[in-house]
Every structure is written in C-alpha cells, then in structure tokens.
Amino acid sequence: MAEERDPSCNPVDLVPQDACNPGSMYGVERETGNDHISETGEEETTHNESEYSNFDIVKATQYGVLERCQELVESGYDVNRRDNENVTLLHWAAINNRREIVKYYIRKGAVVDAIGGELLSTPLHWATRQGHLGMVVLLIQYGADPNIRDGEGCSCIHLAAQFGHTAIVAYLLARGANVNMRDKNGMTPLMWSAYRVTSVDPTRLLLTFGASVSTGDRLHGNTALHWAVQAKNSVAASVLINNGGACIDTPNAQGFSVYSLVMKRKTQWLDKKLLDKLQESQKLQRNILFRFFRDKKLRYWSMMLSPVLIFYIVGLIFQLNLLYLIKLALFVALYVLVYGASLLLFDDRLMTVMPMAVYLATKFWFYVTWVIYIHDSVGLWFSSMFMLTSLILWYNFVKAWRGDPGVITADQTQKYKTIMELAEQNGFDPAWFCSTCLVRRPLRSKHCAVCNRCVAKFDHHCPWVGNCIGALNLRYFVGYLLMLSVMCAFTLKGCMEYWLVNCGVSFPHVGLWTGLGMAGTCEPWVVWVASNAMLHVGWVTTLLACQIYQIVYLAMTTNERMNCYRYRHFQTGKKGEIKSPFNRGMWSNLVDLLNVSCLGLVQPSQKDWRVMFTVEQATAQEPVKAADRTDEEQPLVAGASSGGDGPVEEAFGFV
C-alpha cells in the first residue's frame, strides 16, 4: 500500500508547463519590475510604444498590452488561431489574468471553451490552476463550462481543490458544482484536497459544504482520510477526523483501514493528540467496558460533578481530628484517586468544562455554608443582601451563559449569494470571509474555535460561563464578574462574623495569623470556604478591572487588545502607536457598555456589530441597524481602510 501511485495527475503531470508559471517553456516572460495590480485586481504591465510595437500577438497577450492586441486583431488576426503548441490566445490571457484582453477577444468571437495545450484544457482550467479567481468569475460569466474535463479527467473544482484555491472552490460550489463530483478515477475534490493541500482549507470548506468522507475512489477504494494518511498530511487528517467525523476503520480495495496505515507510520508524522484519539476509537469498538467509560454523557457529568465532591472531601479532611501528617497522607491519596479517575472519565473537553464546573461547585458550597453556619451569625438583613446579590448574579450568569453573544448567521441561500458576490467583487479576503460559517465577517468579529461560530465584536471565549463573550452579552459578563466579586466578599464577611460570634475571633485584637489559627481550630470547614471566597475575590476583581479598563478607557475587546498590532484600523501611522477608532470617550463608552438611557441625558450607541463592515460605517454618527438594512445595501467587504481582522493563523479567517 505504501508504494501505491497517485491515481491520476502525478506531482509532475499535475502542474504542466502549459498551465504553470509565466517562466515556463510556453513563454509568459514577465518583467515583474514593471507589473502592478489594477483596481480590479488585474495584473497590468506598462510599456512604452517602442517596446511593444514589435511584439507578436502571443507575447502582447502574455504581457497584457491591449493596444497591440487590438492593432493585430483589427489587422485581420484570427482570435481563435492556435500557436504551434495548440494553445489559443484566450488561454494565454487567462493564465496571465489579463481580463480586459479576455473581454476583447470574446467580443471578437473567441471560443470560451476552446481545448488546447498538452493537457487538453480550457482557458478556465488554466485560470483555475493559477488561482485567478477574478478570471474564473469572468470566464464563467461569459459562458465557460466549469464541468468540462481536461486530458487528465479533472474538472475545475478538482483542480481548485488540488492546488488549494479555496476561494475558487467556494465560488464553484456556490454556483451549483457537485461537492462530490468525481474525476475519471473517482477522486472527489475532498480527496484531492486531503492528498495535496497541507492547510486546513479547502478541506474544511468542502466538509462545510457536505462533502462525503466515506466515499472511496474507483481505483484504490481510498477515502479522503486514506489519501491524507498516504500523503502524511496531519492537518487534513485532523480536519477530517475532528470536523468531518471520518471513520478510521473503513477498508480500501486492498483491505487496509486508515488505522492500520497510521499505526505503520505513527512515529513519523501524526500529531500525538490525534494519534491518541485514533487509538481510543479503536479500543471503543473492541472493549465493552471501555465503551462505557468513554460515553460522552458519562464523561461530561463526571467532569461537571467531580468538583462538588472534591470540594466536600477536602473540607471534610480539614475537619477530621487527626494528626497533620495523616491529613497530608489523605490529601495525597485524594490526589492519586482524582488523577486515576481523570484518566478513566475525563476527556479533551476538560479545559472547557472544568472552569464552569468549579465555579458552580464553589457557589453551591457557599450556599450550603451560609445556610448551615453563617445565617444565624449575621442576621436577616445581611442574609437578605447576600441572597439579593446572588439573584442578580444568577441573572447575569444565565444571560452570559445561555444568551446570544452576537452569532453571525445566514441561511444556505444567503451564504451562496455572499460567496458569489464576494468573488465577483474581489472580496475574497481572509479578513472578510469565514470558510467554516460561509458568512461575510463584520468588522471586530472573529471565529471562535471552541464554539465553531463567528461572533460579532468578539471579546473572548469564557470557560467560566461556557460561552463566547461578544456584542450582545458583554454587559452581562461584566455584571456577572461584578456581582460574583460582591457575593464572594459577602461570603468572606459572613465567615468573619461567624468566627466572631461562635469562636470569639476578633482579628483586630488577636492579629491575622493567630485569628486564623483560632478559626481553624474552631471550625475548619468555614476556613476552607473563606479561603475559596478570598481566592475568587482576588482573580474575579482583577479580571473585572481589566475588562473595565479595556472597554471604557481603551475602547477595545480582549481579542483586539491582544492582537491590536495585527489590525490596521488600530494603527495610527506612528511607529508603535495604537489607538482605537471606536473610542467615544470614557463616559460614552461606559454608557454603551451598560446600554442604558435616561431621559435623553445619556444615549447608548445603537450600532449592530453584526452588520458593521467598515471603520467608516462603524464610526458614523447614525449607523444603520440590521433591521433597517436590505441585503442590497449591505457592503460586501470591509474595505482597505479597515483591514478587517488582518492576518490570521489559518486560511479564510478561522482561528
């Protein structure tokens, strides 16, 4: 199996000289020093008249000298005449992205789907191989057929997938191309992408469009995952398994499963986490007991409930009337027990589940402690204030946890329309389009890798509330932090009142350490609860202060503050100087956060960040809301001044 050959279009044949770089034997001899990009995205070359007056029509086409091409055609040159390599003028114009020349030749009768070159390709094939999205759009608008197969049996969507041209793949699919279209050997676009492209796209994009992960090619019976393993493409393999749910046990025509192939090469290329996941999947099918302990619901609730039990056991050990050395041994035993249970019952969701589980467990025991220990020591009024604070905290927590953070949504028709509009207006930029959600990305938005969705005015993903924090729930998150710190302070004050009434501990009189020793001897559980309250007061208050500083003083989100040097709209032009264009002043920023108005004296901004695409639009005095805007009125791209989200770690804006 390791010696299997590529079913078609081997690495050499796949990039033929007649559809490759301008420096190939077919003579696209560019002088790049004179090249520049026009406003339409077309490459133009400037020449004086003496330079191009002797150009033949092929060379003039390659260099983009429209005047010389017009002169020769008007003199009687047939635009469908082929050179000695059986290549038409339209092929040369397409491969060099000479759009005005293409328009001229087609007006003069050039055959749009002319077959030529060694691979019997059309001009659309050539443009697709080179990744010229604008040229692909133009040729299709003039009637070019993207479903024509070249001499290797590949249509345009296969070529776009092979060369990793995600924007072209998206455009062809939006125009109705079959995402599971097969070439002459049964290879689908997903198979080609998994085999040839080492970035997440277009593999991830094809999965978003519903590409099949179970289909095998006709020659070898390989699925897309087989091809990713054959190529040792760990990125594609990870995307197929984690995003596409590809099966590792499907055999190919030779009877080899993906798992068997991986095990032969596991030390060479595969990410350890992915390898562990593959091995776990294999065990799940063989061991009934293993399947029981790997049940996702069982593991989720084990992670959610374990902090409640651990909190109680730790407090119980503190309360035991035993030697400190024995207590230490019990803590070590508890650690070993928890560690062993974690290997059996916890999974890779631990870092996203555990923070909220710890928070809820801590609050639960705060309530229990208040009712059993503290209530009688503080009186009804103080307990009422504690409960009122808790109710407000719960309100903000639920809003931050279950509320919409500002998710950018669109139905399938809108997504396809967006793709075609962006492609036709040169708007396919990583800052403007998300290949996972298939939506136009507004200014200040970001794709959350945890929630797998784009969020307007993205601040961060908060594991303490299990949700993204964005445009619509940021104020509830700040309210949650504020009331949590107040509740912890109430709990700490209640514990001190308990010690004073029941243990006779007065810290101003006996000092901190003596008082803590007396309190620990009197009631260790309350000391344990108080220490947790103190810890939470510290980090929650610090986080709250950071949030207020960013929002009110800097007018930035957490994401923007961490990545401000990547976003052009924060750069003032002075070296090292960063400034938010969204800053309306500290008072107005605070009003915007609270989203409150009072008799016209204060008025929050009514911006809907789900439809803000440019800095100019976002900073306008009276921006249009989403409800007031039609699809035709919405700008397609963020514009050069905004820069969108700037450079991103992954293609087409997935972070």
User: In the chain, what are the domain boundaries?
Assistant: 376-618
If you write DSSP's letter for every residue of 391-424 in order, what string do you get?
A: HHHHHHHHHHHHS---B----HHHHHHHHHHHHH
Q: How is residue 372 annotated by DSSP?
A: I
pLDDT of residue 180: 96
pLDDT of residue 277: 62
With cut-offs at 50, 70 and 90, classify the pLDDT of residue 640: very low
Once rounded to an integer, what is the mean pLDDT over residues 347-374? Answer: 93
Q: Over 70: is that where the pLDDT of 653 sits?
A: no
- Residue located via tokens 């978003």: 208
- The dihedral through the CA atoms of 275, 279, 285, 291 has a sign that is negative
pLDDT of residue 190: 97
Distances (CA, A) of 531 to 329, 491, 527: 21, 10, 6
pLDDT of residue 229: 86
Higher pLDDT residue, 130 or 283?
130
Phi and psi at 159, nearest 5°, equal -65, -45
Q: Over 80: is that where the pLDDT of 327 sits?
A: yes
pLDDT of residue 648: 29
Ranges 22-31, 143-152, 226-235: which has the least confidence: 22-31
pLDDT of residue 268: 58
CA–CA dist 151, 395 (Å, integer)? 65
pLDDT of residue 534: 94
pLDDT of residue 429: 72
Higher pLDDT residue, 525 or 631?
525
Once rounded to an integer, what is the mean pLDDT over residues 353-369? Answer: 95
- Residue located via tokens 């992915």: 274
With cut-offs at 50, 70 and 90, classify the pLDDT of residue 16: very low
Higher pLDDT residue, 637 or 483?
483
With cut-offs at 50, 70 and 90, classify the pLDDT of residue 48: low
CA–CA dist 605, 610 (Å, integer)? 14
Higher pLDDT residue, 477 or 33?
477
Once rounded to an integer, what is the mean pLDDT over residues 330-339? Answer: 95
pLDDT of residue 15: 33
pLDDT of residue 241: 84
Ranges 152-161, 217-226, 235-244, 278-287: which has the least confidence: 278-287
Element (H, E) at 258: helix 258-265
- Burial code of 531-542, b = ≥16 C-beta within 10 A, e = fewer? ebbeebbeebbe
CA–CA dist 320, 326 (Å, integer)? 10
pLDDT tens-digit map of 77-112:
999 999 989 999 999 999 999 999 999 999 999 999
| Residues marked as catalytic | 462
CA–CA dist 648, 29 (Å, integer)? 33
Phi and psi at 112, nearest 5°, equal -65, -40
With cut-offs at 50, 70 and 90, classify the pLDDT of residue 2: very low
pLDDT of residue 39: 42
Higher pLDDT residue, 621 or 102?
102
Residues 6 or more apart whose CB falls under 8 angstroms from that of 390 comprise 367, 487
Q: Which of these, 460, 437, 414, lies nearest to 653 by C-alpha position?
A: 437
Once rounded to an integer, what is the mean pLDDT over residues 27-37? Answer: 38
| Percentage of the chain modeled with pLDDT above 90 | 56
With cut-offs at 50, 70 and 90, classify the pLDDT of residue 378: very high
Element (H, E) at 37: strand 35-37
Distances (CA, A) of 212 to 238, 261, 263, 288, 630: 16, 21, 24, 29, 35
pLDDT of residue 269: 56
pLDDT tens-digit map of 141-155:
999 999 999 999 999
CA–CA dist 444, 430 (Å, integer)? 13
Burial zone of 517 (CB within 10 Å; 0-12 exposed, 13-18 middle, 19+ buried): middle
Q: Over 60: is that where the pLDDT of 652 sits?
A: no
pLDDT of residue 422: 86
pLDDT of residue 3: 34
Q: Over 90: is that where the pLDDT of 571 sits?
A: no
Q: Over 90: is that where the pLDDT of 389 sits?
A: yes
Residue 430: HSE in the Cβ half-sphere, 13 Å Cα cutoff: 16
CA–CA dist 515, 499 (Å, integer)? 9
Give the global pTM: 0.78
Q: Which of these, 121, 169, 220, 232, lies nearest to 419 by C-alpha position?
A: 169
Mean pLDDT of the chain: 83
Ranges 33-47, 160-174, 629-643: which has the least confidence: 629-643
Helices (H), 403-523: 412-424, 474-498, 507-510, 512-522
Higher pLDDT residue, 115 or 255?
115
Q: Over 80: is that where the pLDDT of 600 sits?
A: no
pLDDT of residue 271: 58
Q: Over 90: is that where the pLDDT of 128 sits?
A: yes
Q: Over 60: is that where the pLDDT of 644 sits?
A: no
Show the 3-state SS of 121-177: ECHHHHHHHHCCHHHHHHHHHCCCCCCCCCCCCCCHHHHHHHCCCHHHHHHHHHCCC
pLDDT of residue 286: 57
CA–CA dist 188, 77 (Å, integer)? 41
Higher pLDDT residue, 597 or 450?
450
Ranges 64-73, 423-432, 454-463: which has the least confidence: 423-432
pLDDT of residue 293: 61
Once rounded to an integer, what is the mean pLDDT over residues 459-482? Answer: 96
Once rounded to an integer, what is the mean pLDDT over residues 552-562? Answer: 94
Q: Over 60: is that where the pLDDT of 251 sits?
A: yes
